Amino acid sequence: MSRGGQAGTPDVLKLAHTPTPSVLTAKTASPSLPATYVGIDVSKDHLDACRKSGDQDPGDQNLGNQSPKEQRDARRFPNTPAGHRRLLGWLATSSSGKVRAVVESTGRCSLDLTLALYEAVLCEADDTEVMAANPKALRGFAKAQMRRTKTTGRTKTDAVDAAVIADYARRMSFSPWEPSPEATRELRAIARRIQALTVERTREKNRLQSLTDRSLTDSRSASSVVENDIEVNIRHLERRINELLRQAMACVNSSKSLTKAYGHLKTMAISPARAGHC
């Protein structure tokens, strides 16, 4: 395995941010039209959800507003496991018919909720579809409809953003979400941890360099105890990074799709070097 050392990013960490075929696989959306559309705006601490049902004028460009024939219900839930269960219970009270829910995809803040929605659909076999929408797509949708939200520059409430996401669920093409394989999610978590430890190692090296430079100009300000402690911590961080790299490779080896993608990544890295010798 190429660790990259001090020079660059190890290939196995590049793989954590590379989509694999299994990650891109999605179910086909049901051809029947939903009776209820739900938009969920996600933040670190809470979830704002807007549920819309009934008719809406297709030509109405005033997103987020309520049409005369439309029923709307907006709620706020904590972004916690208990809050996710409450949101699921609220969705279960929707009127009969299919429910189409769109969650603003905000990485780790939205992943647990999206997984909870997906698992509830699988366990209960209910008529609910879930999609994770890219925030850029939501911004583009709001701009195209001439509606300003917090993400397009004007301050708006999260409840209004949730209503706009519900309109997105109603009007835009729908791609039902499926989670990445467990090995892929584990690899990404390890990669984030390695990144954090690498940043800390760089800080410690900068501190050590600062102490060294200071001791050259003024030996009275130097502290051998502090310098030794920083060196010990750097070695400790390097051991932890190397162990996490080993665990990352174990994740790759446990998954056929990741192993295949890793092989392609290695081939792409080697090819330019070979071309240079031709």
The total of other beta-carbon atoms located within 10 Å of residue 72's CB is 15
Q: Tell which residue, 213, 133, 214, has the closest CA to residue 167.
A: 133
Sign of CA dihedral 141, 144, 150, 156: negative
Instruction: Provide the 8-state DSSP code for 127.
Output: S
pLDDT class of 20 with cuts at 50, 70, 90: very low
CA-to-CA distance for 77 and 165, rounded, in angstroms? 16
CA-to-CA distance for 250 and 216, rounded, in angstroms? 45
Q: How many CA atoms lie within 13 A of 70 on its CB side?
A: 22
Pairing of strands 46-54, 36-42: antiparallel
Q: Tell which residue, 262, 101, 263, 257, has the closest CA to residue 181.
A: 257
Q: Tell which residue, 22, 18, 3, 5, has the closest CA to residue 249.
A: 3
Most confident residue range from 22-26, 148-152, 205-209: 205-209
Greater model confidence, 139 or 228: 228
CA-to-CA distance for 252 and 244, rounded, in angstroms? 12
Amino acid letter, 47:
L
Does the structure show a pLDDT above 80 at 2? no
Q: Show Cβ contacts of residue 250 under 8 Å, excluding neighbours closer than 6 positions.
A: none
Mean residue pLDDT of the chain comes to: 76
CA distances from 224 to 200, 220, 231, 234 (A): 21, 11, 10, 15
Q: Show Cβ contacts of residue 173 under 8 Å, excluding neighbours closer than 6 positions.
A: none
pLDDT class of 154 with cuts at 50, 70, 90: very low
Q: How many CA atoms lie within 13 A of 115 on its CB side?
A: 14
Residue 135 Ramachandran class (φ > 0 left, ψ -120 to 50 alpha, else beta)? alpha
170 within 8 A of 52, measured Cβ to Cβ:
yes
Greater model confidence, 225 or 57: 225
Q: Is the pTM of this model over 0.75?
A: no
Reported as a single tens digit per residue, the pLDDT across 184-238 is 778 888 888 999 999 999 999 999 998 888 777 666 666 889 999 999 999 999 9
